[in-house]
Structure 1
Amino acid sequence: MAASALPLFFEHVEQALEHAPHEVRRLFHGRGQQWPGLEQLTCDWLQGQLEVTLFKAVDDAFLNELVAGLVRLSQSALWQQQQGQSIFIQHRYADGAPTKVIVGEINDRPIVQEHGLSFQLDLGRNQNMGIFLDMRFGRQWVQQHAQHKNVLNLFAYTCGFSVAAMAGGADQVVNVDMSRGSLAKGRVNHQLNEHNLNQVKFLGHDIFKSWGKIRKSGPYELIIIDPPSFQKGSFALTKDYQKILRRLPDLLADGGQVLACVNSPMVSSDFLLDAMREHAPDVVFSHRLDNPPEFADIDNEAALKALVFNYQAPSPE
């Protein structure tokens, strides 16, 4: 990356911050490859806290100029107007993704809002903060399509989709994730939104070893599949996604919907479309959700792919 490109970074950050709504929002998305010299840099507004993330090591000139610019931002009228509290840089490329505080002190467990819903973040300790900001249109879609539905949320993480589904009037949501720690955070997110936990299940299991338990709570009118691209020892996208798709007809109610997601720049939407046609031909593609405009990418197929499918049960012979 190039220190000479940083004035453009600060110009975009200040412009986005000035118009930021009262909720979490990405301010700058260098990974969309639109700004040469800034490809491995992002900036997120966390309602009073600014997180800048470096995805690749940079030279001292770049880092020093970045830090100096962030300090200047903290001294601006705009920062005071937006009630800024802290600025920190996460070095995502390094072991443990260490975080360096530039201004103020981190509130490492803030409660933030998105589309009227509350979520607790976990900052400064993990690669991911607890919510994926590029999926906000996906969560909004789920909220709009969950009423009176039995919902299955696979690879639930901290249950963002589940929170959206309950807010949208779902009858039940079943969350499945092998990380019990993530599901515990999901339980907190539901409590923050005053949801009835009797309607929410948390299954801390390996999905591929738990189809019996998952099927027991079905059939489902809405299934969400949002796996990691790779999780050592448990999931490899191009090898394991098909194993999920072939289970869908046994899990879905007639007329049910699937939101299937892929978030790897190495895999296009054709991968998912072709795999669904092969392994679940009665689950038919409907449309792809737009990504939030702040996540614009010069290659739409390198960005998040969130695809909606409809299931029509085959007629009995």
Structure 2
Amino acid sequence: MQTSALPTFFAHITQQLGEVPDEVRRLFHGRGRCWPGLEQLTCDWLQGQLVVSLFKAVDEDFSAQLIAGLEQFAQSDIWLQRNGTAILLQHRYANGAPSQVVVGELDSRPVVIESGLKYQLDLGRNQNMGLFLDMRLGRDWVKAHAQDANVLNLFSYTCGFSVAAIAGGADQVINIDMAKSSLAKGRDNHQLNEHNLAQVKFWGHDIFKSWGKITKSGPYDLIIIDPPSFQKGSFALTKDYQKILRRLPKLLSENGVVLACVNSPAVTCDFLIDGMKEQAPELLFQYRLENPPEYKDIDEQASLKALVFSR
């Protein structure tokens, strides 16, 4: 990380804040390695609040100039025009991802809007805030393909895909995640959007111990797989993803579609394409969803991969 590159960072977020809609958005994605000297820095706009994240420890000079620049940014015309209220600096590299409020008074539980849908975030207490912004176009795709569908949402986290599916006219969504606290937040997200909770199920189960129950509620017209790269004691990407793929033919309806995702720079699209050929050869790769333009990466195979398969 280079202190001399910080003016580029501030110029870019100034430009982006003037252009983004009144929705939640990433303003700066240094992790795409398109910004030399700023590879471990990101910045998200949460409709009034700015979350700046460092993914690697920096020297005192970089830290001091970053904080001074953020304080100055909070006096800028664009900050005032967009009704900015607070800036949070998160140290993602440190244990517990500690955060410090640099400007203003933080609203730690803001409700934000993405593609017209509401989501409750949780700032300053966890590494992740409750919505992965790089999956915006994935949620848009689900909304566009969920009409009258029976949907299975594996590794559902806070149910962003589920919210999009119900908004898109799904008949039912079954969300499965081991973290019941995340599912509770997912229930809140549906309630924020005034959805009929009778259409949504929240199962706090270990997927690999629940195939019988999952199968009984099928077949599914749309299956979404969006696991973490690694979750201690429950999921390891290269070992466990194939166990899910081999189950798909029995879970999927005749004209069903699978959205399979992976967000690890350690594997390419071939990890999913070849895995599907081996484990469920009757499901064919159709296309890869584009990532939001603000998530540009010097190597697209290192960025989020969301692939569509069907019979």
With the length of structure 1 as denominator, give the TM-score of the two structures: 0.98
- Cα distance in 2, alignment partners of residues 75 and 283 from structure 1: 54
2:155 maps to what in 1?
Answer: 155
Q: CA deviation at 1:292?
A: 0.3
- Cα distance in 1, alignment partners of residues 197 and 224 from structure 2: 19
CA offset digits 1:165-214 (Å, max 9, x no partner): 00000000000000000000000000000110000000100000000111
- Cα distance in 1, alignment partners of residues 116 and 77 from structure 2: 28
- Cα distance in 2, alignment partners of residues 247 and 301 from structure 1: 26
Residue type of the alignment partner of 2:271: F
Residue type of the alignment partner of 1:56: K
- Cα distance in 2, alignment partners of residues 95 and 32 from structure 1: 23
- Cα distance in 2, alignment partners of residues 213 and 83 from structure 1: 48
2:182 maps to what in 1?
Answer: 182
3-state SS in 2 of match to 1:62? helix
1:95 maps to what in 2?
Answer: 95
| Moved beyond 6 Å, runs of 4+ | none
3-state SS in 2 of match to 1:301? helix
CA offset digits 1:12-62 (Å, max 9, x no partner): 010001112110000000000001110000000000000000000000000
CA offset digits 1:115-158 (Å, max 9, x no partner): 00000000000000000000000000000000000000000000
- Cα distance in 2, alignment partners of residues 96 and 105 from structure 1: 21
Within 5 Å, which residues of 2 pair with 1:1-317? 1-311=1-311
The alignment of Structure 1 onto Structure 2 pairs a total of residues equal to 311
- Cα distance in 2, alignment partners of residues 292 and 78 from structure 1: 23
- Cα distance in 2, alignment partners of residues 252 and 140 from structure 1: 21
CA offset digits 1:75-128 (Å, max 9, x no partner): 111111000000010000001100011000110000000000000000000000
Residue type of the alignment partner of 2:123: L
- Cα distance in 2, alignment partners of residues 105 and 207 from structure 1: 40
3-state SS in 1 of match to 2:80? helix
- Cα distance in 1, alignment partners of residues 214 and 203 from structure 2: 9
1:315 maps to what in 2?
Answer: none
Q: CA deviation at 1:220?
A: 0.1
Identity across aligned pairs (percent)? 71
RMSD: 0.4
Residue type of the alignment partner of 1:306: A
Gaps of 5+ in 2: none
Q: CA deviation at 1:298?
A: 0.6
Residue type of the alignment partner of 2:126: N
- Cα distance in 2, alignment partners of residues 25 and 116 from structure 1: 13
Residue type of the alignment partner of 1:128: N
- Cα distance in 1, alignment partners of residues 18 and 71 from structure 2: 17
With the length of structure 2 as denominator, give the TM-score of the two structures: 1.00
Q: CA deviation at 1:252?
A: 0.4
- Cα distance in 2, alignment partners of residues 197 and 218 from structure 1: 19
- Cα distance in 2, alignment partners of residues 88 and 187 from structure 1: 26
- Cα distance in 2, alignment partners of residues 37 and 238 from structure 1: 31
- Cα distance in 2, alignment partners of residues 280 and 203 from structure 1: 25
Q: CA deviation at 1:233?
A: 0.5
- Cα distance in 2, alignment partners of residues 290 and 15 from structure 1: 23
- Cα distance in 1, alignment partners of residues 263 and 241 from structure 2: 12
3-state SS in 2 of match to 1:8? helix
- Cα distance in 2, alignment partners of residues 47 and 35 from structure 1: 24
